[in-house]
Structure 1
């Protein structure tokens, strides 16, 4: 390149390969999944907001997760749906690509941090039940929520800044949507700093997430074992199992994408895993919490009963 700082204004997306015959079935499937994700996640948020019985720290903190899931799906799926219907080559502006990458990474990071503050809430409720309402005040709920979102956005901004500074020698995105690896792979410069910093930030986030949640559950298990109260054990299992299932699903989907990004030979499998990462956790989370959490089930039943009582 004669100009070392050259940047393409329009990028070509090649990661989503759908044949003419499978385009409409895939579109309908993804559209129905997206509708389900939005209705289920935003429905839970609205239900918690409407039902005074659910105005508790546990559910107010949980509200962050369906909001994050709905936003995460919206950042990726509408663009995919549009691309499926377009039979010609797919393009995106560089600015839109960078914004999408920021949304993808900040929202996936927010899922980690939100699950961490939810684990802290369960720890206080089980290990310090007498001080729970003193510790988990409305002010603390707001503070924890703000910290979770800030931790999710600030490091992502720093990682993307390293990618945006690079010049480009290609304009082809090999992923179904824009993310940080897609951006820095557009450059032919030395990418060692980007790869090391990106991997280091991911390792630090995952280490923080796994460590915090592991320590929290070990302390909860120790308290339950020491107390030997069947009521306490039942409460711990009911409230913690749901959180742990959601966390393990998210951890499994996220680790699969990160691992496959390191192997160019599995590009098609990585593209599929990248899409599933924004479908599987976001659609399963509201189902798991809706089925496992008694208060949410009761709140949903009350709303349904009220609607049945309305004439016509």
Structure 2
């Protein structure tokens, strides 16, 4: 680990999170393939929704927003990890590192916001099916989405703002990319205070969004029990896609952000694996879940292949 004088100006960092990785090229190629598939699949979802005016509805706008978030989320870190593993490019300049940290945290926050809004959308659709389009119009959906992006930008900006004034004594990042804990560990200050700030933000966001999703599904279950068996099956199928996505996203977060603070010690490899899984997993699964379980999008894909 390179040691700097506190008065020195750090111009670049060295990504050291994969130094102990066995077969780095194999891992890098796997990440590359998953990344390419995830980006293409999400782009297909976006293009289908944009160019088909019949899909210009609140639910599809939310699916499109989730696809945009997934592309941002996975693109914020994957190129750096692929470069380190495949091309052995381990250095990243100071400013791009901060930009990467901001983009990663923006995608991380927006993923939670997007899933929360989609749970609320399902609640309105099931509890007020005849008034759904009057409650959740296209305009209101777009305005709500814009507001969430603004709030998410404000939250994500907290992390680089707290890092910029700090002097750096080290240049080697302990983890796989420029995330907040890795950069804080390169500074000359006691990291516990800054880690506690991050824990408070993470706990509030996870508790609020996951709690909101749980409350939405409690409401959905309440209204579903008064429905016919046929309607229950349709509602269950509608909500299953969202539940799959929520599980894939929140499960690694609970392990990384909560259990580790309760004393559970993770190896560097385990932490990197969970972090990479939390980034690439939802971004890869989301478009396929919504393509395969949303009949309008699935129908368009089938017709496209029939024409070929």
1-structure distance, mates of 2:94, 2:197: 22
* Structure 1 contact 18–84 (Cα < 8 Å) conserved: no
Q: Give the structure 1 partner of residue 244 of structure 2.
A: 245
Q: Give the structure 1 partner of residue 38 of structure 2.
A: 37
1-structure distance, mates of 2:259, 2:163: 20
Q: Give the structure 2 partner of residue 17 of structure 1.
A: 19
Q: Give the structure 2 partner of residue 200 of structure 1.
A: 200
Unaligned runs of 5+ in 2: none
Q: Secondary structure of 1:130's partner?
A: coil
1-structure distance, mates of 2:178, 2:202: 17
Residues 5 and 239 from structure 1, CA distance in 2 versus in 1: closer, same or farther, beyond 3 angstroms? farther
Residues 157 and 246 from structure 1, CA distance in 2 versus in 1: closer, same or farther, beyond 3 angstroms? same
Shift of 1:46: 0.7
Q: Secondary structure of 1:11's partner?
A: strand
The root-mean-square deviation of aligned C-alpha atoms, in Å, is 2.2
Q: TM-score, normalised by structure 2?
A: 0.91
Summarize the alignment of residues 158-169 of structure 1 with structure 2, pairs less than 5 Å apart.
158-169=158-169
* Structure 1 contact 164–183 (Cα < 8 Å) conserved: no
Summarize the alignment of residues 46-195 of structure 1 with structure 2, pairs less than 5 Å apart.
46-87=47-88, 90-195=90-195
* Structure 2 contact 77–177 (Cα < 8 Å) conserved: yes
Q: How many residues align?
A: 304
Give deviations 1:214-236, integer Å, cap 9, x for gaps.
111111111112x2323432232
Shift of 1:3: 6.9
1-structure distance, mates of 2:86, 2:118: 39
* Structure 1 contact 101–179 (Cα < 8 Å) conserved: yes
Q: Secondary structure of 1:78's partner?
A: helix
Shift of 1:7: 3.6
Q: Give the structure 2 partner of residue 8 of structure 1.
A: 10
Q: TM-score, normalised by structure 1?
A: 0.90
